[in-house]
C-alpha cells in the first residue's frame, strides 16, 4: 500500500527517477513521469526501451520522486513491477501524463513501439523532508 505522502508526490507534477537493474547487476536510472492509484505507482514506457527489458528479467525497482519546487524533499519507493498493461489503456495513460506535465496530449508521432504501464507495488516507502 502506498503511503499518503507517496500518493501526494506521485499525483503532483513531480518528476521521478526509476531505477532498474541491468543484466550484469548494475543499476540504471532514468528520469520519468509518474502517477499512482491507491495501491501502486504507475510508470508509462515503451516495450523497446532498456528499462522495460530490465524489468522483464528482474522486476525489482526503486522509484524516487522529488517535489518540483523543492528537490530536497522526496519520497522513495522500493518495490516490484507486479503487472504491465498495454493497449489503449496505456495510450490513454500517456495522454493523461502529458496533460499533467505539459498541458497537452502526447505526440503520438514519437511512439516507437507499444506503450505499457508498469504497475509497481511497494515493499517499503520512505520520505525525506527538505534539506
User: pLDDT tens for residues 103-116?
Assistant: 999 988 788 899 99
* Contact yes or no for 120/61 (Cβ under 8 A): yes
Q: Which domains occur in the chain, in start order? A: 4-128 (2.30.110.10)
Task: Please report which helix (H) or strand (E) contains residue 93, including its range.
Answer: helix 87-102
Residue showing cell 506535465: 101
Residue 129's pLDDT is 63
CB atoms near residue 21 (< 10 Å): 17
Residue 131's pLDDT is 46
Average pLDDT over residues 119-130: 78
Average pLDDT over residues 84-95: 97
Read off the pTM: 0.92
SS3 110: helix
For the chain, the straight-line distance linking the first and the last C-alpha, in angstroms and rounded, comes to 26
Record the cell numbers describing residue 51, joined without a space: 528499462
Between 74-83, 86-95, 102-111, the lowest mean confidence (pLDDT) is in 102-111
Amino acid at each position: 500500500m502506498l503511503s499518503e505522502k507517496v500518493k501526494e508526490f506521485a499525483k503532483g507534477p513531480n518528476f521521478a527517477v526509476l531505477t532498474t537493474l541491468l543484466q550484469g547487476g548494475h543499476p540504471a536510472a532514468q528520469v520519468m513521469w509518474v502517477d499512482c492509484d491507491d495501491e501502486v505507482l504507475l510508470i508509462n514506457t515503451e516495450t523497446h526501451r532498456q528499462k522495460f527489458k530490465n524489468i522483464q528479467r528482474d522486476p525489482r525497482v526503486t522509484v524516487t520522486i522529488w517535489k518540483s519546487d523543492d528537490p530536497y524533499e522526496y519520497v522513495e519507493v522500493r518495490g516490484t513491477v507486479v503487472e504491465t498493461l498495454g493497449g489503449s489503456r496505456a495510450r490513454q495513460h500517456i495522454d493523461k501524463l502529458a496533460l499533467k506535465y505539459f498541458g497537452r496530449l502526447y505526440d503520438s508521432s514519437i511512439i516507437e513501439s507499444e506503450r505499457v504501464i508498469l504497475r509497481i507495488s511497494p515493499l517499503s516507502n520512505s520520505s525525506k523532508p527538505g534539506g
